[in-house]
Structure formats: structure tokens, C-alpha cells
Structure 1
Amino acid sequence: MTETSTSRSLTWYAHPAARNWTCAPASGEVQAFHSGLPAYSPTPLAELPRLAGELGVGRVLAKDESARLGLPAFKALGTSWAVHRILAERADGGRGAGPLTLVTATDGNHGRALARMARLFGQRAHVFVPRGLHPAAVSAIAAEGARVTVVDGPYDDAVRAAAEAVTAPDAVLVQDAGRPGYERIPGWIVEGYSTLFTEIDAQLAATGAASPGLLAVPVGVGSLAQAAVTHYRSRPADGPPAALLSVEPEAAPCVLESLHRREAVSVTTGETAMAGLNCGTPSHLAWPHLRDGLDAAVTVTDAESRTAARDLGALGVPAGPCGAASLAGIRAALTGPDAGTRRAALDLGPESTVVLLSTEGNAANPRFLDPRS
């Protein structure tokens, strides 16, 4: 059974049966690969007791992805594993040793991460970006050595342009959104994100805790949320299974709208400071996992995300707007009118552990910091 409610300030979806759904696990080789990369170390899981008191739960912790493999967001986990798999497959097939051109579309962090990994592995990168991406974000991608093409349209137009540009035999599309006929490489990117959740397991275990009672995930096309669902729905829980909450901008609620309809749909997106979440179509690859494995979904405003980012920063977690969306979403879900009903849907009590994925640092999104935005 699902529950839906809509008001001017909150859109909510709940699917409590998700905790009974299971799926196959990610590859067990991913973290060992990441451990061998230069600059690898687990990112912090910061304890935030002030937020636990505010939200009426036992513990709140934030997974701080503001310095992942030398970049200000989590995306390098997925791009590094995908590039590794692409190059390994090419070598196994006896194909030419010359450099590839790795092509993608991005709202910022994914493209910069792919450009960094292309440089690290001796490849080329061509990155398509939507109109309106902040010039500093474009410059950061170019500074990694990538060719950058600005598309006169939104993110989904950039995705189409990137796919159409892959015509030469030495060009490979490395996109994090799957579609029919294009699933293997997006699947590798999702697998790459599994390291983040393996780290959380170890970090919670070191404090004597089991799985989180609730984990909040910012959502664009849904690839990171797919990785979260894969991790927590593919293994026996040490205690009650984790509830998984997706958080999107009000301006780009493609996953929440799809969950309401129980089928993947596209939405027209608006302007939002949460640029990395400004996506109009769920990943084809992610959608079945999101439909069946997410417990709940909520949307947040830019103002709520900005407030959450300021609050996280004051607590020592340098969150950008996409990362801060997790806290904004938790606040929307656990406070205000009908909060008791939403807490019950998530099976949260006063002793529960809540984990927020702060997926980018404030340096990752210059638009958010720019007073003109």
C-alpha cells in the first residue's frame, strides 16, 4: 500500500512494503579497487547530536562527501569504477591501446569527476553541459583537461547531445542515467557508489551501531538512490531493515512523480540551486529499484536547502545545496503537520539512527554561493 499527499509546501510519498523487497548485491570488488586509487580514504561520518535533538531521534550522522578522491562530491566513486571496467574490457578484448574519448553530459559534478578520471587513466574527455550551468563549474571541468560543449537547453538536452556525439570507434558514452539498450556502463557507475555504503557500515559498526533506521538520499536521475537500495535490500539486516528516503527539488520531482504514478515519467524542470538534482527523467536502470525499494520520497525548496546547508556548515559539514537536500528532506518528513503519520511510515522512534548523505561540499556548486543566483 502506498500513501500520497500533496500541499503547497510538501509533497510526500510512502511505500512501507519496500522493506520487504530484495535484490542482488553489487560487485564485491569495488571497494578494493577504490582503496588502491591515489588519495583514497573513507570520507567522514559526522555525528550531529544537535540535529538528533531537533528531530527527536537517537542519532543523526552525516556522510560528508565534500572531499572524495580530491574532488568536492561523491561522483568520482562511480566514474572511476566505470572507467576501470571500460579499459579492462578493452584490454581483455585485444582492442587498440590508443586513448579513448570518454563522453558525458553533466550538471557539474559527474562531468568533472569523469574528466579527472580520464586524465588519471590517460584518456580524453568530452563533457556536454546545459545552458545556465555556472561559469565556474564549466571552468572546473575544463581545468581537468576536458573539452566542454555548452548545449542550448536543459540537462536532458545535454544528455541527448552527448549520446549523439558518440560516433567514432574510440569514443565511449559514460553516462550515469540508464536507458533501454544502454545499461552496462550506468550499471558500473552505480556499482562504484557501493563503496560509500560499505564505508558507512564499517563506520557505524565502529561505534557499536547496526544499520541506520533511516537513510536520506538526494535524487537527480536516481543512480545514487539505486545504489542505496541495492546495498540495503540485498543483505540481511542486523535488526530492522533501513528505511530509505529520496529527496528532490520541488522544481525537478521526476522520481517522486514517477512513484506517484507507479511508472517512470518525465517532468518539465524549473530553476533550482540544486543543480545536480535538476533532472527531468529517472534513469531507466534505476527505476525498478526506486519503485520497489524506496520507502518514501519528499520534495524540498531551494530556501529549505539553503537553510540546511547553513546549519550543516555551522556543525562542521561543508554541504552544498544537493548534499544539504538530505537534511531539508528529513526535516520535511519528520516535522510539521502529520509528522506522526510520516514517522510511523518510516518506522522511526526516539532511539532511531538517521544517516544523511551530504553528497557535495559547498565548493562543488558555485551557483549556490553566488549572491546573484
Structure 2
Amino acid sequence: MTELFLNPLKTAEPQPGLSADAHAEPAALLAACPAYAPTPLVRLPGLARKLGVGRVLVKDESKRMGLGSFKALGGVYAVLSVARERAGAALGRSITPADLIGDAVRGVASGLHFVCASDGNHGRAVAAGARLVGARCSVYLHAGVTGERADHIRRQGAAIVRVDGSYDDSVEQARRDAAATGAILVSDTADTPECADDPLPVRVMQGYTVIAEEIRARLSPDERPTHLFVQAGVGGLAAAMASRFGGTPDAPRIIIVEPDSADCLLESARAGAATEVPHGAATIYAMLECLRPSLPAFAILKDRADAFLSVADGLAADAVRSLAIPAEGDSAIRAGASGAAGLAGALAVAENAEWRMQTGMDSNATLLLIVTEGVTDEGEYRRLVYGA
């Protein structure tokens, strides 16, 4: 069931989120990657007319670094940061970004083993980072991850470890195996108090702030976003965006979009504390199917998000199709269901007069959306767009 929940925890003076310069180190290290380049900010006036708003701006992450997802920024950055630290200690000198792909660092990194759990995109990013520096990588995938998504990860040189159960089960198995073997766990979530001292989930989140800075660099003076619809699994991207766009008097209204069967952030806001939701039916928003929020992400979102919106699977086809077969004058964008989930949320609000009023989404609004991933499963994409 689709539900809009206005956040009762939002504060006029939020606690500090990620710092204003949080993007600086990720941007510097990622610049060492030959595949790094800013992704486009696309204007879609036809979609704006469909939604009944003034402007729609879409940050298109579908081709990010050849990996097809915003996750490339967090996963690759986290791996590079660890490789730089380990190589610096082993070689007894400072490691520059340019050094990261050199023989000396690769010699040290060849002895490192990175592991992570993933629905697909994070694993692909961590595997790519490990491949860049010459390290080993193993990615833990739960039963719901399709073979096509697993193959994308294998092509980055990683080993696949299949785990029965949900994404959260794969997270737990990766943690146990990393602790037992001494592998380096690159998690994109810190969902228990025991994870509080692990710096890597916050580094992954920090990598996503590069998206916000790229957006800021491409906004024209008259394009101040009034609304940010951003999808969330454990909340890392949403928290990164809320850190950079929220917390000021002129901040856009921040609306967090989740699957209705895995709305752990909405339920956490309702409960007033981080809350696990029960495992429900599988969702087409597969990359967002997370049952526990990341604690550092929720700490930011509870202070800065204006609303949490759970969306039903039925909205996915309209969102994906609206991007794939655009209105006249708009550019087409190929996005998977999870990638188009922010738009699914905007469509849900556009169709509900009360929600439009509650969120202030009127004909003068400027919406900022993020297409977080491209097409990771061609069969699913064809079914959503063409019903085939």
C-alpha cells in the first residue's frame, strides 16, 4: 500500500550530517579512475507537464563509470581509501591519488581481500574498486538476486557467494566470514550498534556526496530545487543528499521513497527510533529491499527529511515507462525499477490532491530526481516498458 508519512522527528536545527566538504576526498580519489566523469543533469519539461509542476531535473546515474549505478561512487571510493591507507603504512610514505593505480600500491593491494553483501550494484562497485587496485573480492548475494546481476559482478573479477534468505541474511553472512578470515568488509550499512566503529559504511555514504556536488555545479541560478524525491534502501544515498541539500531555511522538501514491503525508514520515523521491518513479499524495487536502516543514515534523515513515502510495485511500470518513452522534447532515460523509484514517488504524490497540498508540490515546484541505476535486467525492463 502506498503511504505518505510526514516526518514528526524533523528539527529546525538538525544535528550535523556529513560535512560541507565531505565530497572533497572521494572526488580526489575517484579522479584516479579512468572511468570517472560527472553524470548529466537532464531537464524534462514534458515530464514536468505530466506531473503538474514547473520543472523536473533528473540526475542520470545510469551510466556512472561504466557500472550503471550511483553505487560506483561509494563502493569504489571505500576500496580506494583502504588501499591507500594499507599501502601508505606498508611503503612508509603518503599515497597520492595517482599512485593508486601504480605498481607499488597494486603490490600491496594484491594481498588484500575485500568482501561485501549486495543486491547487485554495491557488489559490482566494490568488485570494480578491488580490480582497479589488484585486490581479491568476494560478493555475497541473497537468493533474490538474478543471475544477470550476478554476472555483472563476475565480470569485474569477483567471486560470488550465494546466501539463502534476504539481503539482511547476506549482510550477516558476509560479516561473519570477514571476521573469521580477516577479509576487509566493505559494507554500505551500519545497522547494529556493534558496527558503530566501522568507518567504511560512512565512507561509502560519503562517496555519494559527489552526486550532490555535481548537481550543484550544473544548476542554473533559476533552478533552485523545491522538492527532492530520493529513493532509499538502508538510506545511505538519501542521507548523503539530505546532508548536502537539507538543514537550511531554503532547503528543498526532502521526500524519501521506499518499497511498501521494505519501508524500514518510514517505520523507523513512525517509531521514533531505528526499526527493523518483517520480511514481506519480494519487491520489483529489488535494490531497495532492505529491512533495517543504516544507523548513521537514519540519524541524518530523522532530522532532515520532510516525509517518507512507501510506494507499491504497481507504480514501477509507469515510472520506468515515463523515462523510456518520454514526452515530446524530453530525452529518453533507460532505468530499472529501483532507479526510477524516486519518480514513482513523485507520480504517487502528483495523483493525490491531499498529498500535493501536504508537500507543497504545486505548479511552481522544481523537482529534483535521481535515476540511481540503469537497466540491470533486460527481461524485467522489457516487461515494465512494453508488457512483453
TM-score of the two chains, using structure 2 as the length reference: 0.86
**1:140 positional shift:** 1.5
Aligned positions of 1:69-108 closer than 5 A: 69-94=65-90, 97=108, 98-108=110-120
Match of 1:285 in 2: 296
Conservation of the 8 A alpha-carbon contact between 1:19 and 1:243: no
Match of 1:323 in 2: 339
Conservation of the 8 A alpha-carbon contact between 1:334 and 1:342: no
Match of 1:258 in 2: 268
Aligned counterpart in structure 2 of residue 220 of structure 1, from 220, 233, 240: 233
Aligned positions of 1:223-234 closer than 5 A: 223-233=236-246
Structure 1 gaps of 5+ residues are: 1-7
TM-score of the two chains, using structure 1 as the length reference: 0.89
Distance 1:29 1:194 in 2: 10
Is 1:139–2:155 an aligned residue pair? no
Runs of 4+ in 1 over 4 A off after TM superposition: 15-20, 370-373
Aligned positions of 1:39-54 closer than 5 A: 39-54=35-50
**1:34 positional shift:** 2.3
Conservation of the 8 A alpha-carbon contact between 2:229 and 2:254: yes
**1:169 positional shift:** 6.4
Distance 1:131 1:370 in 2: 22
Aligned positions of 1:109-258 closer than 5 A: 109-167=121-179, 171-178=183-190, 179-182=192-195, 183-204=198-219, 207-233=220-246, 240-258=250-268
Conservation of the 8 A alpha-carbon contact between 2:258 and 2:310: yes
Q: C-alpha deviations, 1:246-276, integer Å up to 9, x for none?
A: 1011111111111111111111232111110
Distance 1:258 1:367 in 2: 34
Match of 1:10 in 2: 3
Distance 1:168 1:156 in 2: 19
Match of 2:14 in 1: 21
Q: Residues 45 and 221 (structure 1 numbering): CA distance in 2 closer, same or farther, change over 3 Å?
A: same
**1:58 positional shift:** 1.5
Q: Residues 280 and 123 (structure 1 numbering): CA distance in 2 closer, same or farther, change over 3 Å?
A: same
Distance 1:317 1:366 in 2: 14
Q: Residues 82 and 177 (structure 1 numbering): CA distance in 2 closer, same or farther, change over 3 Å?
A: same
Identity %: 36
Partner-residue secondary structure (3-state), 2:37: coil
Which has the larger displacement, 71-80 or 28-37?
28-37
Conservation of the 8 A alpha-carbon contact between 2:26 and 2:207: yes
Q: C-alpha deviations, 1:299-352, integer Å up to 9, x for none?
A: 1112201210011111311111011111110121233141343233xxx44322
Q: C-alpha deviations, 1:113-166, integer Å up to 9, x for none?
A: 111111111111111100121111112212211111110111110000000011
Partner-residue secondary structure (3-state), 1:103: strand
Q: Residues 140 and 340 (structure 1 numbering): CA distance in 2 closer, same or farther, change over 3 Å?
A: closer
**1:168 positional shift:** 5.8
Distance 1:164 1:366 in 2: 33
Q: Residues 18 and 330 (structure 1 numbering): CA distance in 2 closer, same or farther, change over 3 Å?
A: farther
Conservation of the 8 A alpha-carbon contact between 1:99 and 1:170: no
Match of 2:99 in 1: none
Conservation of the 8 A alpha-carbon contact between 1:134 and 1:367: no
Conservation of the 8 A alpha-carbon contact between 2:39 and 2:61: yes
Partner-residue secondary structure (3-state), 1:338: helix
Q: Aligned partner of 1:285: which letter? A: P
Match of 1:361 in 2: 374
Aligned positions of 1:300-311 closer than 5 A: 300-311=311-322
Structure 2 gaps of 5+ residues are: 92-106, 327-331
Aligned counterpart in structure 2 of residue 351 of structure 1, from 364, 372, 388: 364
Partner-residue secondary structure (3-state), 1:298: strand
Distance 1:54 1:114 in 2: 38
Q: Aligned partner of 1:91: which letter? A: A
Conservation of the 8 A alpha-carbon contact between 2:4 and 2:307: no
Match of 1:3 in 2: none
Over the residues paired in the alignment, what is the CA RMSD in angstroms? Answer: 2.2
Conservation of the 8 A alpha-carbon contact between 2:9 and 2:303: no
Q: Aligned partner of 1:232: which letter? A: F
Q: Aligned partner of 1:109: which letter? A: N
Conservation of the 8 A alpha-carbon contact between 1:79 and 1:189: yes
Distance 1:277 1:367 in 2: 19
Conservation of the 8 A alpha-carbon contact between 1:201 and 1:210: no
Distance 2:32 2:222 in 1: 28
Conservation of the 8 A alpha-carbon contact between 1:22 and 1:233: no
Aligned counterpart in structure 2 of residue 296 of structure 1, from 303, 307, 315: 307
Q: Residues 15 and 45 (structure 1 numbering): CA distance in 2 closer, same or farther, change over 3 Å?
A: farther
Distance 1:343 1:16 in 2: 16
**1:29 positional shift:** 2.4
